[in-house]
Amino acid sequence: MAETAVRYVFGTSFEREGERLRLGESLWDKGTKATLADLDVGPGWRCLEVGAGRGSIAAWLAGRGAEVTAVDLDVSRLVGLRGVDVRELDIGADVLPGDFDLVHGRLVMQHVGDRPAAVAALCRSLRPGGHLVLEDTDTTSLFSHANGPFHPEVKRAAYDVMADAGYHPRCGLLDVDLVEAAGLVDVRAVGRAEVVRGGSDGGRWFALWLAHLRPAMLARGTVSEVDIDRAVADLMDTRHRWLSQVMVTVVGRKDTG
Ligand SMILES: C[S@@+](CC[C@H](N)C(=O)[O-])C[C@H]1O[C@@H](n2cnc3c(N)ncnc32)[C@H](O)[C@@H]1O
């Protein structure tokens, strides 16, 4: 694998990362599957799942009869995935395999340093007529709460840590322009947000997000242990509900001309 210039912010030894990824799948898989089912993915399709994580979408595509290749910087959580060709690759630096009917990536482009180059590389991996589906977040809505501001300083501190590692907080919206600039046609985009209840699987995903970033947030010095503890307690409290980020899904097609 080639050297990457950007450090993946969650690529640490945080022991509950597998659980965090699973909770993220439980929050976002339903909408992702609806988008991909709408394209009619099935037998005869060749699919590339980038930044596959724990592989729930790669496994689901394989279960629909598609031929699936899954790539990630860290493939340790993809070992044993049935019917999926797993490869350790950096989508920001390595040459990717080609001739796919579908390339899908969720919550990965937002962590890549040179996003225009990476989107162009994903487009090169498509066969003419193939679809690119990118899903990334716009973070503006996160922690919108009926009672007013919900831990805005903790949200800011967490995203500052992620930005230090190359994360872009408006990436979901910016993906639309990148997909158009890469020359795909029929480009369309929608956003979906979840209303998350404290203590639910979705609520725990946000609590583990803070747990993972906690040491780096404290090192930056803008929030204290008490601030983070209060936020985590509220995220686990069933009396609270808040809006998630908006997951922006961009779909484009490679021209056959
Ligand atoms: C937030 S997780 C999302 C996982 C999965 N796509 C999902 O939505 O459940 C981001 C994943 O992208 C991978 N990743 C980050 N940067 C990458 C890169 N440059 N090349 C390949 N994979 C990358 C990480 O290792 C991680 O598995």
d(CA 50, CA 113): 15
Beta strand extents in the chain (DSSP E only) = 46-50, 67-72, 84-88, 100-106, 126-138, 185-192, 195-197, 241-243, 246-253
User: Which atom number of ligand 1 is nearest to the Cα of residue 11?
Assistant: 25
H/E stretch holding 22:
helix 17-38
pTM (predicted TM-score): 0.96
Token pair, residue 190, equals 């929608």
The pLDDT value recorded for residue 45 is 98
The pLDDT value recorded for residue 6 is 63
The pLDDT value recorded for residue 3 is 46
Domain extents for the chain?
17-253
Q: Quickly count: other Cβ atoms within 10 Å of residue 164's Cβ.
A: 12
Nearest alpha-carbon partner for 135 in 33, 16, 225, 45: 33
Residue 145: alpha-carbon gap to chain centroid: 23
**How far, in Å, are 11, 25, 39, 94, 232 from residue 22 at the CA level?**
16, 5, 25, 26, 18
Pairing of strands 246-253, 126-138: antiparallel
- Indicate the fold that domain 17-253 takes in CATH: Rossmann fold (3.40.50)
The pLDDT tens digits along the chain (257 residues) read: 554 456 899 988 889 999 999 999 999 999 999 999 999 999 999 999 999 999 999 999 999 999 999 999 999 999 889 999 999 999 999 999 999 999 999 999 999 999 999 999 999 999 999 999 999 999 999 999 999 889 999 999 999 999 999 899 999 999 999 999 999 999 999 999 999 999 999 999 999 999 999 999 999 999 999 999 999 999 999 999 999 999 999 999 999 98
The pLDDT value recorded for residue 1 is 55
Q: Is the CB of 112 under 6 A from ligand 1?
A: yes
Q: Is the CB of 212 under 6 A from ligand 1?
A: no
d(CA 214, CA 202): 18
Q: Quickly count: other Cβ atoms within 10 Å of residue 165's Cβ.
A: 15
Residue 3: alpha-carbon gap to chain centroid: 21
Q: Is the CB of 23 under 6 A from ligand 1?
A: no
User: Which atom number of ligand 1 is nearest to the Cα of residue 49?
Assistant: 6
Q: Is the CB of 115 under 6 A from ligand 1?
A: no
Token pair, residue 127, equals 């066969």
Residue 145 carries which DSSP code? B
